Structures are given as structure tokens and as C-alpha cells.
Structure 1
Amino acid sequence: MRTFYEFFAGGGMARAGLGDGWKCLFANDFDRKKAATYQRNWGDKEMLADDIRNIRSEQLPIHADLIWGSFPCQDLSLAGGGAGLKGNRSGTFWPFIDIIQRLRKEGRAPAIIALENVVGTLTSHKGSDFAAICRSLKDLGYRYGAFVVDAALFLPHSRPRLFFIAVRNDLVPFGSNDKPNSPWHTSSLRKAYEA
């Protein structure tokens, strides 16, 4: 069975989406109400309610195949204050990357990193926040790609989200495509990528 860590877990929707073929080894959220919801949904064994800045790699059990991170969007959102990855909330991306860097040094780097956030990430600080995320994944030793999924493709509700999928460089890719595909590679994503 494949294993994962779920950061910024909220109520555990990534866990729900991954399904029964994946086993959660560790989950984290700083918000105690969200952590309590996660525990009601999934039990209290894996959840640690704490600020990601306080988490050490020693707290993460064994080795996970996937690390999922839906880091806070407030500073990247078009409705937010514009602080981007320098903001207090969205800036928690950096401690998340630090944890992966420590796991890498310990020989426990995950095969896959999945990130989720708002599409405002593409234009935050004129695209420099998007570029910083891409650079961080590359510097960790991963190949990566980004795509946009809008809930409107499946439901009568528009909620576009930006996803990054990064695969460790030493692993053989399983069907990558360097050409943009609609509707997953929107014009704003292609523009950010080209920049």
C-alpha cells in the first residue's frame, strides 16, 4: 500500500480523494478546529495539531511515498492582501519545503510531492511566487508540472485550483507530456510558465 503525509490537512479532503489505496502516516494542521474535524473524519492517530514551523522530521514516521501540501492561500489569493509567499499564512510554504529538504538529507525524500493552491499563485508578485515554487521543487531534486482544475468541469460550481505534481528525478516518469492540454493548462498557467 502506498503511504503519504498530509500537511495543511483541514478536514482531510486530500485523504478522501486518495482513497483506500493509500495509507496516511502523518497529518498536520495548525487550526485546532480543523484538526478536530480531521480526527472526527479519520480518527486521531495521525493528526498533529501544531504550526508547521514547529514540526521536525523526526516526528514523521518511516518513509512516505507522497507528501501532500495544500498550504494557505490567503496571501496568494486575488482577494488577499498581496503578501504572497512572504506573507504569514502563505509563507508557510517555506517551512513545508524545509521539512522535505530535511527528509531528503535523511534519505527519506518522497517519490511524489503534490501541492494545491489558488490560481492567484500564478500572478502573485508578477509571477515570481509561481517561479519560486517551481525553483524550490527543482532544487529539491524533482521534475514537476502544474495544471489547473476547475470544479465547474464536474459540478455546477466554479472553483479553480492550481496543482503542482513533482516526481523525484531518480524515478522513471510514467507518461509526462511537455505540450499544454486544455482545459488543464489554462492561458494564465501557460503565461506564467513561459515567464
Structure 2
Amino acid sequence: MKKFKVASLFCGAGGLDLGLEATGKFQTVFANDMDKDACKTFSKWSDAIVVPGKVENISSNDISNEIDIVTGGFPCQGFSAAGPRQVLDIRNKLYLELSRIIEAKQPIGFIAENVKGLTTMEGGLILRKIVEDFKSKGYNLYHQLLNAADYQVPQDRERVILVGIRKDIDKGFEFPKPTGRITLQEAIGHFPDPNPNDVCQAPFSSRYMSRNRKRDWDQVSYTIPAMAKQVTLHPSSPDMIKLDKDLWKFGEGVTRRFSWQEAAAVQTFPKTLEFEGDLTSKYKQIGNAVPPKLAEAVGYKFAEALEKALEREKIKVVI
């Protein structure tokens, strides 16, 4: 069966790629991230060529001409500070690196992911400029805010998904409809008590105590963050009690954060995947990732759109 060959930028531990591969329609053949631990984790489950280091050092020639798709959850540092005439300037170099590779390789399509705030930064100007940028490079860009909780990911996690399809073949794209919700009980209720070494034991900061951090077993989790100290509370913890605006305290009982294994399960990573690095690094890789189940739902629709376009245009896809 033909599969779309994927080059993955800002790949992290591979949440987006795991989801795409779960559809049976995609195969990641090249991946890059500056986080060495994340690259080692990625290599544990993938046969792709994984190159650690800054994306600025990746030449388009380093990536095979046989790739069909580019993916990248590009960080958005710099966007909110950019002026209206410089919204795609050097301060947003990570986005520009993704754009550079896409322009050079001219894949049939691409998928990118970003934070909810991308839709409102500079009054929406940033997103409009991104749409214009890719249009000038030959792509139609589709974007929608999705909550991972609607796609069998047991956490509230709103992210903007960007899907680009080359204009010469594009026949349209529709984002997936919700596939259902699962609770924390269903996701991690069967987990045994963790080893204390697998749980962040850092003190709870004033920032942490500024809002509620706990959801119950019959709910979905708050967003899994990348910073270990900010990881949300396990449902077995006592409820937090509000004292004042932006001030909460813990109730009586044993309070603990999710272990890294529980956080990974809430993100819908395979339970068998062992993350590389120390505890802080593991939490970081997990929190930075696109939930595989969300990526899988988008991947099915993406493959459907591409197959329709390729069938009509009779464009050959690499086997």
C-alpha cells in the first residue's frame, strides 16, 4: 500500500507523527528537533532518519526529494511582539524555517500546529499573514481551532491546526468531526501507584497556587504542560479550595502531580513508549507534543483529501 512520506520538523518525541502513522497512510522518513532527548525518544519507535540540532542548520538538500508531506508544530515566540509590518520577520524565525523548507521541497501538503492564541495575535494579523505567505508559495491553507478532548484525548487542549495543500491539486479539505470523549478514569484509572521518582516533587509555586489544578475522575484533565513544576494534579488528590482571586490552597489529604507515565497516557502516547532523559525532560517532551489521537483524527481527513486530489490529477506518490 502506498504511504505518504513525511519530513517532520520540530518533531519532539513524535506525537504528531505517531498519530499520522496510526492511520496507516503516512510514514515519517526524516525528523529534526533541537531537543536531543526528544530525538532519542523519537528514534525508539521510528525508523526515520532523525537529525538533532537547530532547524536553521537543516538544508533542504538534507531531506529526500521523495518526501510528500512536511509536518511541524512550530513554536510561536516572537509573534505577539511583532509589529504589523514585520509579522514574518527574523523574530519569528522558527516559523520562517518551516516556510523555507516547504517552499524548497514543494510537498503536496503539510500539517502544522500551534497555540490557540495564534488566532488572535495582533488582532488576527499574524494568522492572515501566514495564510498569505503560503498562498504566495503555492498553497491553500485551511485552519481550525480544535479541542483534543473531542478526539478521545482525556484533556482540554485547544490548538490551531493548519493544513496546507498545494493549489495545483487541491480539491478541498474538511476538518474531522469529534470522535468522542474519554474520562480520566478510563484513561488512567487502572494505573498502579507510581514510583515517587516518576513524579515531580518540586515545591508548589505561587503561580501554581494561583488557580485550580485538579479535575475529577469523571472529567478530562486540564492541559498537560511542558514544565514539570506546573503539571496538573492527579484525580486522587483532594480538591483545591479557593481563598481569593488567583489564590487557592490544597484540601486535606495526599496531593501529588501526575507521574510522567500518567501524563503521557493523558496525551495518548503508547503506554509502551519509554521517554529518554531525566524527569524534567520527560515531562517537557510529553507536554510539548501534539496528542497522537488528535493527530490521527486529522490524519485520516488529510489522507482522504490528498488521495482524492492525487486520484483526479494522477500524480504519482512515492511507494
Q: TM-score, normalised by structure 2?
A: 0.48
Q: CA deviation at 1:181?
A: 9.9
- 5 Å matches for 1:179-194? none
Does the CA-based 8 Å contact 2:140-2:170 persist in structure 1?
no
Unaligned runs of 5+ in 2: 83-87, 179-319
Which whole-Å deviations, capped at 9, do the CAs of 1:77-135 have from their partners, x for residues lacking one?
Answer: xxxxx3366585x53010111122222xxxxx111111111111011122221112111
- Is 2:34 the partner of 1:30? yes
Closer, same or farther in 2 for the Cα pair 1:132/1:157, shift >3 Å?
same
Match of residue 125 from structure 1: 122
Does the CA-based 8 Å contact 1:11-1:41 persist in structure 2?
no
Match of residue 193 from structure 1: none
Unaligned runs of 5+ in 1: 77-81, 104-108, 184-195
Which whole-Å deviations, capped at 9, do the CAs of 1:30-75 have from their partners, x for residues lacking one?
Answer: 11121122122325x5111111111111100122111111111455
Match of 1:70 among 56, 62, 73: 73
- Looking at structure 2, the residues matched to 156 and 37 of structure 1 have their Cα atoms a distance apart, in angstroms, of 23
Q: CA deviation at 1:155?
A: 3.6
**SS of aligned partner of 2:135:** helix
Match of residue 115 from structure 1: 112
Match of 1:93 among 92, 95, 118: 95
Closer, same or farther in 2 for the Cα pair 1:21/1:75, shift >3 Å?
same
Closer, same or farther in 2 for the Cα pair 1:73/1:142, shift >3 Å?
same
Which whole-Å deviations, capped at 9, do the CAs of 1:113-163 have from their partners, x for residues lacking one?
Answer: 111111110111222211121111101101121111102213442100101
- Is 2:43 the partner of 1:39? yes
**SS of aligned partner of 1:72:** coil
Match of residue 242 from structure 2: none
- The count of aligned residue pairs is 168
- Looking at structure 2, the residues matched to 113 and 151 of structure 1 have their Cα atoms a distance apart, in angstroms, of 20
Structure with max Cα Rg: 2
Does the CA-based 8 Å contact 2:76-2:95 persist in structure 1?
no
Q: Which is richer in strand? A: 1
- Structure of greater relative contact order (alpha carbons < 8 Å, 6+ residues apart): 2
Amino acid at match of 1:146: H
Match of residue 160 from structure 1: 158
Q: Percent identity?
A: 26
Does the CA-based 8 Å contact 2:140-2:165 persist in structure 1?
yes
- Looking at structure 1, the residues matched to 20 and 177 of structure 2 have their Cα atoms a distance apart, in angstroms, of 24
Closer, same or farther in 2 for the Cα pair 1:60/1:155, shift >3 Å?
closer
- Looking at structure 1, the residues matched to 18 and 57 of structure 2 have their Cα atoms a distance apart, in angstroms, of 26
Q: Cα RMSD over matched residues?
A: 2.5
Amino acid at match of 1:134: V
Does the CA-based 8 Å contact 2:32-2:39 persist in structure 1?
yes
**Which range moves more in the overlay, 152-161 or 64-73?**
152-161
- Looking at structure 1, the residues matched to 74 and 126 of structure 2 have their Cα atoms a distance apart, in angstroms, of 13
Closer, same or farther in 2 for the Cα pair 1:126/1:172, shift >3 Å?
closer
Match of residue 200 from structure 2: none
Amino acid at match of 2:70: I
Match of residue 53 from structure 2: 50
- Looking at structure 1, the residues matched to 163 and 40 of structure 2 have their Cα atoms a distance apart, in angstroms, of 28
Amino acid at match of 1:27: A
- Looking at structure 1, the residues matched to 142 and 119 of structure 2 have their Cα atoms a distance apart, in angstroms, of 13
**SS of aligned partner of 1:115:** strand
Does the CA-based 8 Å contact 2:111-2:162 persist in structure 1?
yes
- Looking at structure 1, the residues matched to 19 and 173 of structure 2 have their Cα atoms a distance apart, in angstroms, of 22
Does the CA-based 8 Å contact 1:118-1:160 persist in structure 2?
yes
Amino acid at match of 1:163: I
Match of 2:10 among 5, 8, 11: 8
- Looking at structure 1, the residues matched to 155 and 9 of structure 2 have their Cα atoms a distance apart, in angstroms, of 26
